[in-house]
Amino acid sequence: MPDGLFIRVDIAESVQGDPELVQRLIEVCPVDIFDRAEGGVATVAENLDECTLCDLCIQAAGDDRVRVVKLYAE
């Protein structure tokens, strides 16, 4: 049986060095999946499954630097 997790968000290394983008990711996500971490941004584990698949983070980051992975579709 799968483990009851539905969404994973992958963040490219290049995002970490871009404080403006980090800020934008935190601002655009409607369910608080992104938060500041040492030296950049990290995902908030308990909020990942709240992802609404709105793609705002993907649009904000551009160039495939943020990927939203549907674990149930893999």
Partner 1 sequence: MRFFEFEAKQLLARRGVPLPESRIARTAEEAADAQRELGGDVVLKSQVLSGGRMKAGGVRFAGSADEARGAAEAILALPINGQHPQGVLVERKGEIAQEYYAAVTWDGRAKRPVIVFSDMGGIDIEEVAEAHPDHLSRTHLSTLRPLSDYQAKLAVARTGVTGGDLNRLARIVLQLARAFREHDLTLAEINPIGKLADGSILALDAHMEMEAEARGAHRALLAELGIPEHDTRQARPPTPFEVAGAEVDAQDTRGVAGNVTEFSGSLGLVIGAGGGSLTLFDAVRSAGGDPANYCEVGGNPSVRKTAALTRLIVSKPGVEKIAVMMNVVSNTRVDIMARGVIKGVIEAGFDPADKIAIFRIPGSWEEEGFAILRRYGVEYVDRSVSMHEAARRAVAKLAGLDGG
Residues contributing to the site for partner 1 (CB under 8 A): 1-4, 6, 31, 46, 49-50, 52-53, 70, 72-73
Distance separating alpha carbons of residues 15 and 41, to the nearest angstrom? 8
> Taking the alpha carbons of 18, 67, 27, 59 in that order, is the dihedral positive or negative?
positive
Measured from the CB atom, the residue of 14 and 52 that comes closer to partner 1 is 52
Measured from the CB atom, the residue of 64 and 72 that comes closer to partner 1 is 72
Distance of CA 39 to the CA centre of its chain: 16
Measured from the CB atom, the residue of 13 and 46 that comes closer to partner 1 is 46
